Amino acid sequence: MTTLISPALKNYEWGDIISLPDFTGQPRDARPWAELWFGTHPDGQASVQTGKGVVALSDVVGELSFLVKLIAVAKPLSIQTHPTVAQARAGYDRENNLGIDRAAPNRVYRDTNSKPELLCALSEFEMLCGFAPLKKSLALAEANGWFELARRLKLQGLDATVRWALETKRHKTPVNLPKHLQSAGELYADSGGIFVALLMNHVVLQPGQAMFLEPGNVHSYLGGLAVEVMSSSDNVMRAAFTKKHVDLAEFFATASLVENLPDKVATKQMRGDAGAKVSGGCEILEYEIGATSFRVQQITAIDSMQIQAEHEVELYLCVQGGSGALQQGQACILRKHESLALTRSSVVFRVF
C-alpha cells in the first residue's frame, strides 16, 4: 500500500506561474508557484488522505529528518547561506530568549537543524554557487570597468570586499553586467548584492546534473526547475536580492567568504538490488553526497517494476512518466516492507 502526499504550496514572488502547475498537472492560477514541500516541517506541512479525512503527514509517519521540494525559479532568489547544526541550535535558543516569535518575519532561526541541500536539475538550471578565484574576479572587474570592485579586491581581498558591498547602503549598478545577472540588475538596482554576485561562480546544470550545498556555502538560484532534498530545516541567512528579512550579522557569522566551487555531484550505479529490493527492469543511481542525514537515489523504470522499502520511512517522488500508484509530480510514502509498482517507463526519486 502506498500513501500519496499532498504537498504544501509556496507562492513566493520569484516563483514561476507555469512550470509547477504544468509539471504536476494542476490548473494555472496566475500566481507564482515557487516550491512544493513534501515533508513534515511546521512551516510547510504536507498532508495525506486517510479514512478519517485529511491529516498532517507527521500524524501518519512522525517527523521526517529530510525535506523534499519541487522548485521552480523564474526570478533570482536571495543571496543566502545556511547554518551548521551548532549554529542553528545556538541561534534558535538566542531568538527564543529574545522573545522573537517563531513565525515572525524577522525570525532567522526557525528550527534547530542544519540545512545541507542537494539540488537535482529537471530542466536547465542556472545558479550562483560559492566564490570564484580572486584572480579571475579581478581580471573580470578590470576588463569590464568595475574599477572600485577591482581596487577593493586588490587592497582588501575577497572577505572584506563582500562585506563592503553588503554593508554599503546604496551603490551605482555596474555597467556591462553579464547576461545571467541582467535580471537581478533590473530588479535590485543599486544593491550591493550585484557586486557580490559578480564575485560568485555562475553554474549551469543540465537535466540530471546536481550540486550539493553544504552549510556556509553562499548561493542564489537564477532560473529553472529542480528537485531539492535537504535536512528538514527552514533556516536561511539572507544578504541581498530579497524583500524578506535580511540579517547581515547572521549571514556573516555563517557564510564561507572564501574561494570555492563545489563539484557537480557524481552518481554511482547500484548493482542488482543493492540498497533496495526491486523486481523488473530498472536502473538505480545514487548521488554521492557523503555523510548526511539523508540518501537520494534516482530510479529509472524501463518497464514494469516493483520496489520494496527497506527503511522505516521512504519517500518517492515521480519526475517523469509514471503509472499506477504514482504519476509525474506526485509523491508517496512507503513504510518498511511496503511496495511501489510502476507499470511503464518513469523516473522516480527515492529519499530515505
Q: What is the pLDDT of residues 247-279, one digit of tens each?
A: 999 999 999 999 998 889 999 987 544 455 676
Looking at the structure, do residues 185 and 297 belong to the same domain, yes or no? no
User: What is the pLDDT of the chain when averaged over all its residues?
Assistant: 94
Q: For residues 118 and 135, what is the distance between their CA atoms, to the nearest angstrom?
A: 29
The CA-CA-CA angle for residues 333, 336, 342, to 5°, reads 55
Task: Say yes or no: 67 and 207 in one domain.
Answer: yes
How far is Cα 112 from Cα 300, in angstroms, rounded to an integer?
A: 35
Cβ–Cβ under 8 Å, residues 117 and 289: no
Task: Please check whether residues 13 and 91 belong to one and the same domain.
Answer: yes
**Nearest residue to 352 via CA among 322, 312, 306:** 312
The answer on 216 and 275 residing in a single domain is no
Residue 185 sits in which domain range?
134-198
Same-domain check for residues 220 and 102? yes
Q: Cell for 92?
A: 534558535
Residue corresponding to grid cell 570586499: 161
Which pLDDT band holds residue 291 (cuts at 50, 70, 90)?
confident
Q: Supply the pTM of this predicted model.
A: 0.94
C-alpha–C-alpha distance, residues 92 and 109, integer Å: 5
pLDDT tens digits along 110-163:
999 999 999 999 999 999 999 999 999 999 999 999 999 999 999 999 999 999
What pLDDT does residue 276 have?
A: 57
Does residue 221 share a domain with residue 87? yes
Examine residue 155 and state whether it is found in any structural domain, yes or no: yes
| Band of pLDDT at residue 3, cut at 50, 70 and 90 | confident
Do 272 and 157 have their domain in common?
A: no
Indicate whether 223 and 292 sit together in one domain.
no
Residues 190 and 214 in one domain: no
For residues 73 and 166, membership in a common domain is answered with no
Q: Are residues 173 and 38 in the same domain?
A: no
**CATH at 328:** 2.60.120.10
Residue 261 domain-assigned (yes or no): no
Residue ranges of the alpha helices (H) in 64-146?
Answer: 85-97, 134-144
Alpha helices for the chain (secondary structure H): 19-24, 57-61, 85-97, 134-144, 147-167, 182-187, 193-198, 248-254
Domains in the chain, number? 3
Share of the chain above pLDDT 70, in %: 97
pLDDT reported for residue 307: 87
Residue 231 inside a domain? The answer is yes
